[in-house]
Amino acid sequence: MTDLSAVAHFLYEAGTLKQARRTGWWMAGVRDPESVAEHSWRTSLIASIIAKLEGADPARAAFLAVWHDTQESRTGDVNHLGKKYGGGAADPRAVTADQTEGMPEVLALAVRELVEEYEAKESAEAVCARDADKLECMLQGIEYLAQGHRHAQRWIDNSRGRLVTGTAIRLADELLRQDSLDWLRSALGETSD
Over its length of 193 residues, how does the chain's per-residue pLDDT go in tens digits? 899 999 999 999 999 999 999 999 999 999 999 999 999 999 999 999 999 999 999 999 999 999 999 999 998 888 777 777 865 568 999 999 999 999 999 999 999 999 999 999 999 999 999 999 999 999 999 999 999 999 999 999 999 999 999 999 999 999 999 998 999 999 999 976 5
Is position 158 within any domain? Answer: yes
Is position 83 within any domain? Answer: yes
Residue 141 in contact with residue 113, Cβ under 8 Å?
Answer: no
Is position 143 within any domain? Answer: yes
Total number of domains constituting the chain: 1
Give pTM, 2 decimals: 0.93
Name residue 117's amino acid: E
What per-residue string of b and e applies to 17-53 under the rule 16 or more CB within 10 Å gives b? beebbbbbbeebebeebbbbbbbbebbbebbbbbbbb
Is position 193 within any domain? Answer: no
Supply the range of the domain harboring residue 89: 5-187
